[in-house]
Amino acid sequence: MTYVKDFTWKKNMKASDLVGSLGSVGFQSVELDKAARIIVKMKESNAKIFLTFTSNMVTSGLRGFFAQVIRLGMADAIVTTVGSIEEDIMKAHGEKFPIGTFQHDDTELHESGTNRVGNIFINNKSYEVFEGMMQHIFKELYKKQHRWAVSDMLKEIGLMLKDKNSILYQAAKNNVPIYCPAITDGAFGFHAFMFQQEHSDFTIDVVKDFGNILFYTNQDDRKGIIALGGSVSKHHALLACLLNGGCDYAVYMTTAHEASGSVGGATTEEAKSWGKIKDASDVCTVIGDVTITFPLAMAKALDVLAGNKLIKGV
């Protein structure tokens, strides 16, 4: 039996000690510490780890942390949405996103050519610059071949980038596939469409890439998922795992609730009904803002794994 313990601050407290102390506080603090421990178990058991996240997390400053997590060998495959790809490329070319407020006058922002994601602003000029980048990228891709599976294309784009804080760059350098099944759902898709008008044989093959993620694992592999938010990114990874026997480990981090019936709110128990997660799996769900919960849980996991010499490049 575990009992509630009072949390107290200590001078020079490390993030891992903070999260460990929160594990006896109660409520979501317990789940946060459990998430860190399950991530450690994934790595210790040599599970193939799927890290999934939605594009708003790359809009935020988590983008560089995701790149670092990849470099440290804490993600074997990435599944995300196309906004992540777009904004990673933008930031790799020096674009900066101002922090504003949640209460800003949105009509005023629209008139000034500014788009709001929560309290982060993206100027239309960033997308204008992005258009030029993509035309160059598509031309380079087309020179090499005319038909691309999504993950192969994203690896090639990553090799074109020079920013070590880029998700695409680190994934390409460390041979971590990035799957993006909804690749046309954004500016990337629009520019691909425009390029195809002049190059009718240029094809981005999402069906072939489904085969890539499906055959990335097998029934014998131990599999883990760290699902940040919901959407197609979470479901696509879980579907691939379902078809290969289900996940052995699962950490969900979300602000959604199960009453909505959404992918983001779907619980690990619900996932068991589909076979996405095994009945005897080690799981937890952390309810809260991922820009807070993920860095804290992963920081503790990395400290433990670094002490056990189970992560590279430290």
- Domains for the chain: give ranges and CATH numbers: 15-307 (3.40.910.10)
In whole angstroms, what separates CA 105 from the centre of its chain? 30
CB atoms within 10 A of CB 101: 10
Question: What was the pLDDT predicted at 312?
Answer: 76
Residues 6 or more apart whose Cβ sits within 8 Å of residue 294: 62, 65, 228, 253
pLDDT in tens, the chain (314 residues): 889 999 999 999 999 999 999 999 999 999 999 999 999 999 999 999 999 999 999 999 999 999 999 999 999 999 999 999 999 999 999 999 999 999 999 999 999 999 999 999 999 999 999 999 999 999 999 999 999 999 999 999 999 999 999 999 999 999 999 999 999 999 999 999 999 999 999 999 999 999 999 999 999 999 999 999 999 999 999 999 999 999 999 999 999 989 889 999 999 999 999 999 999 999 999 999 999 999 999 999 999 999 998 887 77
User: What pLDDT, on a 0 to 100 scale, did the predictor assign at position 2?
Assistant: 84
Cα separation of 55 and 288, whole Å?
17
- Given a contact cutoff of 8 angstroms between Cβ atoms, the answer to whether 230 and 265 are in contact is yes
276 is catalytic: yes
The pLDDT of residue 55: 97
Instruction: For residue 72, give the DSSP letter.
Output: T
pTM of the model: 0.96
Q: Which of the residues 234, 276, 278, 300 is marked catalytic? A: 276
DSSP 115: E
Residue 176 tokens read as: 């971590």
